[in-house]
Structure 1
Amino acid sequence: MQLHISPSLRHVTVLPAKGFKEFMKVKVGSRRFSYRMFFYSLLFFTFLLRFIFVLAALDNIDGDTKCSTIGCLGKKFGPRILRRRTEPTVPEVIYQVLEEPVNQDELQAGQEIPQSLEDFMVEIRYSRPDAKAFAEKLKAMVTLLEQRTRNAKIQEYLYRHVASSSIPKQLYCLTLRLANEHSTNANARLQLPSPELVPALVDNSFFHVVLASDNVLATSVVASSLVHNSLHPERVVLHIITDRKTYSPMQAWFSLNPLTPAIIEIKALHHFDWLTKGKVPVLEAMEKDQKVRSQFRGGSSAIVANNSEKPYVIAAKLQALSPKYNSPMNHIRIHLPELFPILNKVVFLDDDIVIQTDLSPLWDIDMNGKVNGAVETCRGEDKFVMSKRFKSYLNFSHPLVAKNFDPRECAWAYGMNIFDLEAWRKTNISQTYHFWLDENLKSDLSLWQLGTLPPGLIAFHGHVHFIDPFWHMLGLGYQENTTIEAAESAGVIHFNGRAKPWLDIAFPQLRPLWTKYINFSDKFIKSCHIRAS
């Protein structure tokens, strides 16, 4: 290929190497330069530079940024050319105002602070404040509303605590009427169980279930659901432990409402020889606990008055003040081996549960030498309920707790537990329980949150065998996120929390799971106006 360029640069000729006669001509423009074109170009660039200068000046006036003319131009038009969006920046003064401590005097005045977002916007449009004044006004409004929300939530928790701690008049009525029936009707004073069935009380071939409660209605629901869903009710032995004042109403109810063919035993605490012969460490610890609690804690008023704690922490402390946690019915489980010295394995139930399946497979679980079969509460779909570890209950800022336990260790739940009493008797679980109760008293109740589960976590540490979550679904008494479908699919549901199913504050969508086991045609139920809703 040959390339020929004319001297005037007007023609460029390309010839093929093989002599091909055709060629290509590329016409090139003249080298002459037009002065008119130069003048127009200079005029255009002059106007362009003036336009750039004005834009840069406006950008510097509106904002606090300092940049050169070319820099501001690139900052303004660069993202548009590259089709990118620039995020608006928050002036530093706003951060400074928000980080400053809150002025409580201004908040207490209150009337100068906007009470709603609408009031805030009206005031801002009218006054047109600078960034600092805007941030101060916004911070004051948000802080005031936050405090009001906190106070409202704490009041709600306090009212729920009062409602859950009191005895509904319907239950009080039922107890009184049954006590009267016990004193006037011989059929309400039957021996339970009948003499021919007494040997079954110590026969380990039966399914032994223990329930400690002073609530007649709640106990009747647990017993009815247990027998109704059992595949072999004739092999079920239910040991009901109650206190002295509730013994007569409890005996009257089950005398008049037998759950044949199941076997029911009712005993009050004073009927156990072991409890009456000498001092019982757990009962002594409870008495000391109540004295220390009344002296240092100040009850619910002191808890609510604490302005430094979050509402959910206050709610947990209020719940732990419930009389249930100070009841012997809740502490007596630590002495099951002594109360039932001949039995090898029992299922212990709380009175706020409902059984929805046959429990007999629990006796076939291989505990691998462990004592307590329980559901762990640190894993599960419901993160609100199943997120409990040792740090949720124990005070790891105390050196005694931090030295002996791991805060990340998974917790477990009371309410439905299978206890291997034979393995228990070979351990020092009860002694450990009493030791830590004493240590907590010496530490001014500072080792754990109030309640009975924390010392249980310590006493059974290393002796727990986790069972399938099917056997124990928790949380129906303190959160309403549980669906009916999920609750119905569980073997045992637990109304742990303040919203007990026999209270008016119970969650209405969950309450039917409990009321379905109440016979509303019973004359005592009807006369005390106990209704399904």
Structure 2
Amino acid sequence: MDEVKNNILDAKDFAFKLREMVTLLEQRTRNAKIQEYLYRHVASSSIPKQLLCLALRLAHEHSTNAAARRQLPSPELVPALVDDSYFHFVLASDNVLAASVVANSLVQNSLRPEKVVLHVITDEKTYSPMQAWFSLHPLSPAIIEVKALQHFDWFAKGKVPVLEAMEKDQRVRSRFRGGSSAIVENNSEKPHIIAAKLQTLSPKYNSVMNHIRIHLPEVINFQKCYANISFIQSLQCLVSTFLFLQLFPSLNKVVFLDDDIVVQADLSPLWDIDMNGKVNGAVETCRGEDKFVMSKRLENYLNFSHPMIAENFNPNECAWAYGMNIFDLEAWRKTNISLTYHHWVEEVITNINHIVFKQNVTILSIQ
């Protein structure tokens, strides 16, 4: 300003210099935001030493301590696993500590803990630590079952569409093998988009546990999931209930809990909800309070320039919150959802580059 007052700079030069200063400050602000997001990503994706040591200690305990290998549940309680008079909850997780938090909060807030049955499903790697934890820290009078996916015959012997989709998805996911450095070096992206892309690199989204509980898009003739829901929501429902039916062929209703929630109330009233023949009950959400999470509208995940997408789906449709879903498996068995599911999974796999992935693999983190 002094230079302008002293006629050292004319208005044009002043405007040019001011623009340079503003651009420099904007760039510094952008770099600071991206650095914050990168540090946040590293902190959230890394495994703290204490947690790693916990899993290793539990695995050792499982191999050396008979008490850590005891049958869950005890033989006299096994009939409750298929008894529909109990409240059956499903938790799919490969994180022992997270599963413990969900289980403890569920039982502590239940008004009838003796009627709670929690089915914990994990992967082969985490099975020993998970069983050791719940064997050594029982939640009586609630009933806890711990199983690895590999314990199910249908998983070990047959083709699993979810796993086939995961394998074929690798060619799309490989675009981001450059890791976080490749993402943050993109100067054309807005900081919040970079933050969302960093989230997709989380190991959680590459875990089979994430894929067996939630997934892709709705089918046009799909009438039994929640009315007026989107393509993505319905295939979420398809995959989840398809797997639940194979996991729990004798149960009529289950509640799925994600491993990043804390139960704060008694959930037994969920069994009193009249779902009117629908398969899935969930809370619709378009955007949470987390500013780092991209909007959950379809326009952010599907390529609406593709005719098949544009003709059948609404870009403003919202996804649902999958932290807690209730599934009516009896209603599911009355439908032909499994055929519809297979059709759409194959459709998505065939056209995966053109239809689903508008921006990286964020769709998998949300769905």
TM-score relative to the length of structure 2: 0.84
Alignment of 1:346 onto 2:254: yes
Q: CA deviation at 1:254?
A: 0.7
| Aligned CA distance change for structure 1 residues 123 and 224 (closer, same or farther; 3 Å) | farther
| Aligned CA distance change for structure 1 residues 138 and 262 (closer, same or farther; 3 Å) | same
Distance 2:347 2:34 in 1: 31
Q: CA deviation at 1:440?
A: 4.9
Q: CA deviation at 1:398?
A: 3.8
Matches within 5 A, 1:432-443: 434-443=345-354
Unaligned runs of 5+ in 2: 214-238
One-letter identity of the residue aligned with 2:158: G
Alignment of 1:326 onto 2:206: yes
| Aligned CA distance change for structure 1 residues 400 and 296 (closer, same or farther; 3 Å) | farther
Matches within 5 A, 1:415-494: 415-425=323-333, 426=335, 427-428=337-338, 430-431=341-342, 434-443=345-354, 446-447=357-358, 450-451=361-362, 456=367
Partner residue of 1:317?
197
Unaligned runs of 5+ in 1: 1-120, 457-533
| Aligned CA distance change for structure 1 residues 207 and 127 (closer, same or farther; 3 Å) | farther
Matches within 5 A, 1:519-530: none
One-letter identity of the residue aligned with 2:210: N
Distance 1:379 1:304 in 2: 24
Which whole-Å deviations, capped at 9, do the CAs of 1:241-282 have from their partners, x for residues lacking one? Answer: 111111111111111110000000000110011101112111
Contact 1:345 1:421 (C-alpha < 8 Å) held by counterparts: yes
One-letter identity of the residue aligned with 1:273: D
Alignment of 1:413 onto 2:293: no
| Aligned CA distance change for structure 1 residues 288 and 301 (closer, same or farther; 3 Å) | farther
Partner residue of 1:370?
278
Q: CA deviation at 1:318?
A: 1.2
TM-score relative to the length of structure 1: 0.59
Structure with max Cα Rg: 1
Contact 2:92 2:121 (C-alpha < 8 Å) held by counterparts: yes
One-letter identity of the residue aligned with 2:247: L
One-letter identity of the residue aligned with 2:361: L
Give the stretch that moved more between structures: 295-304 or 195-204: 295-304
Distance 2:364 2:284 in 1: 13
Contact 1:347 1:418 (C-alpha < 8 Å) held by counterparts: yes
| Aligned CA distance change for structure 1 residues 447 and 440 (closer, same or farther; 3 Å) | farther
Distance 1:223 1:383 in 2: 25
Distance 1:263 1:299 in 2: 42
Which whole-Å deviations, capped at 9, do the CAs of 1:360-410 have from their partners, x for residues lacking one? Answer: 111111122222211111389x69689642224333344433232101223
Alignment of 1:176 onto 2:176: no
Partner residue of 1:396?
304
Distance 1:394 1:293 in 2: 16
Distance 1:238 1:122 in 2: 72
| Aligned CA distance change for structure 1 residues 131 and 232 (closer, same or farther; 3 Å) | same
Identity of aligned residues (%): 74
Q: CA deviation at 1:134?
A: 1.9
Distance 2:360 2:85 in 1: 39
Alignment of 1:161 onto 2:72: no
Q: CA deviation at 1:358?
A: 0.3
SS in 2 for 1:409: coil
Which whole-Å deviations, capped at 9, do the CAs of 1:340-375 have from their partners, x for residues lacking one? Answer: 111111111111100000001111111222222111
Which whole-Å deviations, capped at 9, do the CAs of 1:475-508 have from their partners, x for residues lacking one? Answer: xxxxxxxxxxxxxxxxxxxxxxxxxxxxxxxxxx
Which whole-Å deviations, capped at 9, do the CAs of 1:57-84 have from their partners, x for residues lacking one? Answer: xxxxxxxxxxxxxxxxxxxxxxxxxxxx
Matches within 5 A, 1:46-57: none
Q: CA deviation at 1:295?
A: 4.8
Which whole-Å deviations, capped at 9, do the CAs of 1:140-195 have from their partners, x for residues lacking one? Answer: 11111111211221122122222222211110010011111111111111100011
Contact 1:212 1:351 (C-alpha < 8 Å) held by counterparts: yes
One-letter identity of the residue aligned with 2:127: Y
> Alpha carbon RMSD of aligned pairs, Å?
2.5
Distance 1:296 1:400 in 2: 26
Matches within 5 A, 1:262-341: 262-295=142-175, 298-333=178-213, 334=239, 335-341=243-249
How many residue pairs get aligned? The number is 335
Distance 1:250 1:224 in 2: 14
Distance 1:315 1:440 in 2: 27
Q: CA deviation at 1:325?
A: 1.1
Partner residue of 1:149?
29
One-letter identity of the residue aligned with 1:446: F
One-letter identity of the residue aligned with 2:285: T
